[in-house]
C-alpha cells in the first residue's frame, strides 16, 4: 500500500505541467514476492491541482489475481494571498481480500518548501478515519531530486501520523511510512528503478521497522 506521492509532484505544483504514469513493481520483501501496479495522474489547472493514484497487489492465493486494491485522490486549491501555499482535501480507501480497509478523509494545508532541481513540499493534515472514535494528525513530506542532467530521479514521500494502538485501545501510536524511489530514464517514456518501503507500526501484526525493496519499471504517458 502506498500513500500520496508522484514522481514530480512537488515541482509540478508550481508549473503548468501534466503528468501520468503506470508503474509495475516486483516486491522482494519477505513473503511478499508478487507484482504491484500503480497508476498515477497529476493535473494542474487555474485553481490548483488534482492528484490521484490506484495501487493493486497481484498475489491472490488461488491464481495471483488482485488481492488488494487501494486508491487516493487529493485536491489542492491555490491560496491567492500566498502563492506557495495551498489548501487540500484528500480521500483514501481500498479493500484487501474483500475486506474494506476503511475510508479516510484528510483536510489541511500544503506548503512548497523548496522548488527547482531539489523540491520539497509539506502537508499538515487533520486525519479522520470513518468509523473510528479518535481522529489524528498527519504530516506528509514529498521530495524530488534530479541528477545526471535529468537522467536520474530520486523521489518519494514520508508520512507520519497518529492512530489508536491496536494492542492498547486506550493509547495512541505514531506510524511512519516512507517510500523513496530511484528511477533512471532509459528513454522518452520508459524509466527503470524501484523503491524502498520503510515503515513502523504500519503493517498489521509486525513489530519494529519493516523494510520492503522492489524492482520496478515505469511508463510515462
Provide the residue ranges of all domains of the chain, joining segments of one domain with +.
9-220
Res 13 pLDDT > 60: no
Report the alpha-carbon distance of residue 62 to residue 64 in Å, rounded: 6
Worst-scoring range by mean pLDDT, 51-65, 80-94, 162-176, 204-218? 162-176
Q: Record the pTM.
A: 0.86
Calculate the alpha carbon distances from 54 to 16, 51, 215 in Å: 23, 11, 18
**Given this model, what pLDDT does residue 203 score?**
83
pLDDT interval class at 7 (50, 70, 90): very low
Which one of 13-17, 50-54, 160-164, 170-174 scores highest in mean pLDDT?
50-54
In this structure, whether the domain defined by 9-220 belongs to CATH 2.40.160.40 is answered with yes
pLDDT in the model for residue 18: 62
14 pLDDT more than 60: no
Per the listing, cell 501484526 goes with 205
pLDDT of res. 1: 39
Amino acid at each position: 500500500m502506498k500513500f500520496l506521492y508522484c514522481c514530480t509532484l512537488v515541482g509540478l505544483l508550481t508549473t503548468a505541467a501534466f503528468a501520468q504514469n503506470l508503474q509495475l513493481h516486483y516486491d522482494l520483501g519477505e513473503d511478499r514476492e508478487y507484482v504491484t501496479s500503480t497508476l498515477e495522474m497529476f493535473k494542474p489547472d487555474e485553481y490548483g491541482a488534482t492528484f490521484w493514484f490506484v495501487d493493486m497487489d497481484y498475489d491472490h492465493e488461488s491464481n495471483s489475481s488482485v488481492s488488494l486494491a487501494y486508491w487516493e485522490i487529493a485536491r489542492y486549491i491555490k491560496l491567492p494571498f500566498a502563492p506557495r501555499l495551498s489548501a487540500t482535501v484528500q480521500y483514501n480507501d481500498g479493500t484487501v481480500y474483500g475486506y474494506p480497509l476503511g475510508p479516510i478523509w484528510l483536510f489541511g494545508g500544503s506548503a512548497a518548501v523548496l522548488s527547482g532541481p531539489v523540491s520539497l513540499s509539506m502537508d499538515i493534515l487533520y486525519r479522520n478515519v470513518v468509523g473510528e472514535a479518535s481522529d489524528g494528525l498527519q504530516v506528509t513530506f514529498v521530495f524530488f531530486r534530479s541528477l545526471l542532467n535529468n537522467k536520474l530521479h530520486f523521489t518519494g514521500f514520508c508520512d507520519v501520523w497518529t492512530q489508536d494502538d491496536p494492542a492498547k485501545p486506550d493509547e495512541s501510536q505514531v506510524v511512519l511510512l516512507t517510500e523513496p524511489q530511484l528511477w533512471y530514464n532509459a528513454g522518452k517514456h520508459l524509466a527503470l528503478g524501484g523503491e524502498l518501503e520503510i515503515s513502523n507500526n504500519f503493517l498489521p501484526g509486525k513489530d519494529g521497522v519493516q523494510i520492503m525493496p522492489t524492482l520496478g519499471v515505469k511508463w510515462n504517458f
